[in-house]
Amino acid sequence: MNKQDKIYVAGHTGLVGSGIVNELKKQGYTNLVLRTHGELDLTDQKAVEVFLGEEKPDYVIVAAGLVGGIKANSAAPADFYYINMQIANNVIWSSFKYEVKKLLYLGSACMYPRDCAQPMKEKMILSGYPESTNEGYALAKIAGTRLCTYLQRQYGVDYISAIPANAYGLGDCFDPDKSHVIPALIAKYQKAKEQCVDKVILWGTGNAKREFINTRDIASASVFLMNNYSNEETINIGTDEEVTIKELSEMIKKIVGFEGCIECDISKPDGMPRRILDSTKIHELGWKASVPLCEGLEELYKDYMGKRDA
């Protein structure tokens, strides 16, 4: 990509999309096309076609989608499936129709089968059933990545897809009904600290293992892939580091300064027992994550408290 090329970032106000916009600006890309959900509903096929037909961006990065944790995914699988399918189909196909030079679609680590061998290699997609608690979301994301593969295979266009590990970072959602585990735990520990309670309840056994990646790293990887990757097979974006949910909880407890105890509610689901990506391919291309988990957690906590106090 040249610095003056027109780049459309779908979902630029979201957690990952905002990080990508910041990274593009940091690297000197100045011709960015951005639309909020209020300005452009990506589930509206006609509206997306009109927009891309008028703007004709050179490059497109798709970071838009309906996202949420186990609670939200379990409660609304139809919404997560339909909305994410619509966004993928509309943006990717209309980009192809209006001859976008290159497109990157961002998937999710939950696309991998629940009982997938670890660490998860790209070739393992579709080798088994996804985790039931986020099946709708996973199937929609799989479909988006496959559409990129099929378009490249059939028409030779440079449309690629990538699978980041569990994302967290500045701009994260702290709504208790929608948040992922890291912002949910930060908010939970802060509330417990302020209310002087003696314990915090952790969903599940605490033994599930996860790999977390800061959105700054996802953003740098996304720009890197737009400039250095053109294969039809999706590619993982990970850190090669994992923690149990209990270990993560202890880290956040320390950062927040909560002095009570942690109690696991084993009646609640763990989700997938272990989920870590095999990121050998992107590492061999020359990209590596740079934000340590502890540093990213401290940064997010400070940002959360700063916005609460504002």
Phi-psi region of 166 (alpha: psi -120 to 50; beta: other; left: phi over 0): beta
With H, G, I as helix, E, B as strand and everything else as coil, classify residue 257.
coil
Beta carbons of 291 and 282 less than 8 angstroms apart: no
**Cα gap 40→31, rounded to integer Å:** 19
Question: Which one of the listed residues 137, 159, 189, 301 is annotated catalytic?
Answer: 137
Examine the residue annotation and report whether 137 is marked as an active-site residue of this protein: yes
Between CA 132 and CA 141, with CA 136 as vertex, the angle to 5 degrees is 115
Residue type present at position 22: N
Structure tokens at 249: 């909880």
Q: What ranges in 69-207 are assigned the alpha helix state H?
A: 70-75, 77-97, 135-155, 181-195
**Cα gap 148→234, rounded to integer Å:** 9
With H, G, I as helix, E, B as strand and everything else as coil, classify residue 140.
helix
Residue 130 pairs with which residues in a beta bridge?
A: 113
**Cα gap 303→169, rounded to integer Å:** 9
Q: What ranges in 169-292 are assigned the alpha helix state H?
A: 181-195, 215-228, 245-256, 280-285
User: Which residues participate in catalysis according to the annotation?
Assistant: 137
